[in-house]
Amino acid sequence: MNTLIDSEHTVDHLEPLTGGTMPRMAPGLVAVVSVALGALALLLGVGIFGAVALAWLAYVLGLTFWTRAVEGSRKATDTLVQTLMWSAFVLAMVPLVSLIWTVVQRGAPVLTPAFLNDDMSGRALLGVGGGIYHAIMGTIMVTSIAAVIAIPIGIFTAIYLVEYGKGNRLAKVITFLVDVMTGIPSIVAGLFAIALFIVVTGDPLPRLGIGGSIALSLLMLPTVIRSVEEMLKLVPDDLREASYALGVPRWRTIVKVVLPTAVAGIVTGVTLAIARVAGETAPLLLILGTARVANWNPFSGPVQTLPVYIFQSLGQTTHFKYGPIWTDRVWGAALFLIIIVMSLNLVARIVGKAFAPKTGR
Read off the pLDDT of residues 85-117 as tens digits, 9 standing for 90 and up.
999 998 999 898 998 999 998 888 888 888 888
- Sign of the Cα torsion 52, 57, 62, 68 reads positive
Neighbouring C-beta atoms of residue 195, cutoff 10 Å: 13
Query: How far is 54 from 346, CA to CA, in rounded Å?
Result: 39
What is the pLDDT at residue 332?
A: 87
What is the pLDDT at residue 166?
A: 81
pLDDT in tens, 340-353: 888 888 887 887 77
What are the structural domains of the chain? 2-98 (no CATH), 115-355 (1.10.3720.10)
Query: How far is 287 from 274, CA to CA, in rounded Å?
Result: 19
pLDDT in tens, 129-167: 678 888 899 999 999 999 999 999 999 999 999 988 887
Neighbouring C-beta atoms of residue 177, cutoff 10 Å: 13
What is the pLDDT at residue 146?
A: 93
CB 206 within 8 A of CB 136: no
Q: Is 220 exposed, middle or buried (0-12, 13-18, 19+ CB in 10 A)?
A: buried
CB 284 within 8 A of CB 189: no
Residue at 240: amino acid letter: R
What is the pLDDT at residue 113?
A: 86
What is the pLDDT at residue 358?
A: 63
Neighbouring C-beta atoms of residue 53, cutoff 10 Å: 14
What is the pLDDT at residue 8?
A: 46
Residues in the chain: 361
pTM for the whole thing?
A: 0.78
- Asked whether the predicted pLDDT for residue 279 surpasses 90, the reply is no
What is the pLDDT at residue 221?
A: 92
Confidence of residue 122 (pLDDT cuts 50, 70, 90): low
Which one is predicted more confidently, 8 or 274?
Answer: 274
pLDDT in tens, 226-254: 999 999 998 888 888 888 888 888 889 99
Residues 6+ apart with CB under 8 A from 213: 142, 143, 145, 146, 149, 298
357 secondary structure, DSSP code: P
What is the pLDDT at residue 301?
A: 84
Residues 6+ apart with CB under 8 A from 153: 217, 221, 224
Report the mean per-residue pLDDT for the chain: 83
What is the pLDDT at residue 11?
A: 45
Query: How far is 101 from 158, CA to CA, in rounded Å?
Result: 39
Q: How far is CA 251 from CA 145, 163, 175, 235, 255, in A?
A: 28, 9, 22, 15, 6
- Asked whether the predicted pLDDT for residue 15 surpasses 60, the reply is no
Residue at 357: amino acid letter: P
Which one is predicted more confidently, 112 or 317?
Answer: 112
Query: How far is 23 from 306, CA to CA, in rounded Å?
Result: 53
- Region 191-201 average pLDDT: 88
pLDDT in tens, 206-215: 888 898 999 9
Neighbouring C-beta atoms of residue 308, cutoff 10 Å: 26
Query: Residue 4, SS3?
Result: helix
Q: Of 248-252, 277-281, 297-301, 327-331, which gets the smallest average pLDDT?
A: 327-331
CB 255 within 8 A of CB 338: no
